[in-house]
Amino acid sequence: MNPNIIKLVSGSNAKLDEASTQAIVKISCSSSPAILDISCFMVGENGKVPSDDFFIFYNQPADPKHTVVFNPIDKYSGEFAIDLHALRDSAIEKCVFAATLDGPGTFADVRGCRISAAGKDTELVYEIVEGNAETSLVLAELYRHGAGFKLRAVGRGFHGGLKPLAEAHGVEVEDEAPQSGSGAQVHAQGMPGHTEAAATYSGPPKDTVLEEAPRPALNLTKIDLLKQQVGISLRKKNLDQEKARVAVVFDASGSMSHLYSMGVVQRAFERVLAIAAQMDDDGMLDVWFFATKSKRMPSVNEHGYEDYVKRTYPGPKMFGGLGIGNNEPVVMADLIKKYTKEEPGSLPVYVVFFSDGGIYETPKISKLLIDSSKHNIFWQFVGLGNADYGVLRELDDLRGRYLDNADFFALDDLDEVSDEDLYDRLFNEYPKWLREARQKGVVRS
């Protein structure tokens, strides 16, 4: 039986059926100039979040009691599963649902923006048709009404993005100092009380003065956004519970110079770093650069991503660096040495290998792939541009391997590929290899 659909307009409200024990609140748009960051503020009588733990978004998908749980769908949509019984028994008065554009444009450029709240027999729908020249928008709020809940359509915008939106609900957003990285620091200034008890906190005794202890800030960086998309792609492939050691290899030959100077390599690094932050057992990304020679670089986590390439190896060097030629075998051999002899382990090793072509060492590359097929290493080669990739284009026909341990695809322009498409392609062959590697005892974790 289809639920009774009730459409709302700005300022109106409607009741969710009292027979519902759970509500699904979905926020989506059909097109947007930037990723839609979706959030929920669980606020008390004072209109403020009790603590950081009640600001629900992609990097903190649930409150301590899992009364509200966020499930991202794609870069333009997500939904919140709400336990109405638990919400009714808590000190939370209402849930405020909002969206922020993380990137260019305003909500005047967003099309098909809507929020819906579906209960057992009723679905409340609010479609935002008015153009808003703001970058943040409160869409609606689910609030107590008698023994049940109502949804009120709000459609109120905030200029300036996350900061004014968060401050309106008891959360402070402070820009980080330049030397400490980009992004924003977020912490709540709501009702005092310990995190575990915040949902049922009734306030301190009269005449008692409580000093609120500093709470750790939440770091909102571009890596956090990328991690969200990585998580979506991993779930599509049933890999969201899998762990692996993650490595990246960058071509630093002379033909790559323009990609280094234009920042393409740094952006590619950030997109792979998000994979390590989401999938690696300790969140660390192992890094290699190669040209005529190769070099291992310092491993890095998501807190050291800014200007990593510029600080580590800013571009091809004919003198005093790695040279300007193409020598894939030297870096492949060093990577195999690290993971099979120096630091062997039971976890699979997932390697993203960037190259702009000019590959000619076919016999050596083939032998290394064959030899490493008996080890827990998967090679994901990514071509940058339309070039000569030699043996990489023929990986499916490479004979003699214990397992098919490699995949390849080429991109005309890495910056033109969406995060969703890139991550889906990066994880295209890996699940199959992982299953077969476990069946044959290559991977034992």
Alpha helices of 198-243 — where are they, by DSSP H?
222-236
pLDDT reading at 422 higher than 70: yes
Angle value at C-alpha 197, between 191 and 199, nearest 5 degrees: 65
User: For the whole model, what pTM was predicted?
Assistant: 0.55
Cα–Cα dist 317/245, whole Å? 29
Q: Quickly count: other Cβ atoms within 10 Å of residue 104's Cβ.
A: 9
pLDDT at 281: 83
Q: Quickly count: other Cβ atoms within 10 Å of residue 163's Cβ.
A: 19
**Residue carrying the six token digits 């994901």:** 380
Q: Which of 30-44, 208-222, 276-290, 377-391 has the lowest mean pLDDT?
A: 208-222
Cα–Cα dist 357/153, whole Å? 54
Cα–Cα dist 118/135, whole Å? 26
pLDDT reading at 179 higher than 50: no
Cα–Cα dist 116/93, whole Å? 19
Q: Which of helix, strand or coil describes residue 43?
A: strand
pLDDT at 172: 62
Higher pLDDT, 166 or 416: 416
From residue 249, give the alpha-carbon distance in Å to each of 63, 186, 296, 299, 318: 38, 34, 9, 12, 19
pLDDT reading at 193 higher than 50: no
Cα–Cα dist 198/190, whole Å? 10
Closest CA to 251 of 309, 193, 175: 309
pLDDT reading at 307 higher than 70: yes
* Alpha-carbon dihedral angle through residues 63, 67, 73, 75, given to the nearest 10 degrees: -40
pLDDT at 74: 86
**Residue carrying the six token digits 């870096």:** 331
pLDDT reading at 167 higher than 80: no
% of the chain exceeding 70 in pLDDT: 87
**What average pLDDT does this structure show over 378-382?**
96
Residues in the chain: 445
pLDDT at 201: 30
Cα–Cα dist 407/352, whole Å? 10
- Tokens linked to 55: 């600001």
How many helices and strands (H and E) does the chain possess? Answer: 10, 21
> Which DSSP state fits 91?
S
pLDDT reading at 210 higher than 70: no
- Residues β-bridged to residue 43: 94
User: SS3 breakdown of the chain: % helix, strand, coil, rounded to 5?
Assistant: 30, 35, 40
pLDDT at 186: 52
Q: Which of 12-21, 231-240, 284-293, 372-381 has the lowest mean pLDDT?
A: 12-21
**Which strands, in side-by-side order, build the sheet including 280-290?**
294-300, 280-290, 244-251, 349-355, 377-384, 406-411
pLDDT at 206: 39
Tell me the HSE value of 8 on the side-chain side, using a 13 A CA sphere. Answer: 26
Q: Rounded to 5 degrees, what are φ and ψ at 199?
A: -70, -20
Computed over every residue of the chain, the mean pLDDT equals: 85
pLDDT at 284: 95
pLDDT reading at 350 higher than 70: yes
pLDDT reading at 205 higher than 80: no
**What average pLDDT does this structure show over 283-310?**
94
Higher pLDDT, 225 or 139: 139
**What average pLDDT does this structure show over 282-289?**
95
Q: Which of 21-35, 52-66, 138-152, 247-261 has the lowest mean pLDDT?
A: 52-66
pLDDT reading at 13 higher than 80: yes
pLDDT at 135: 85
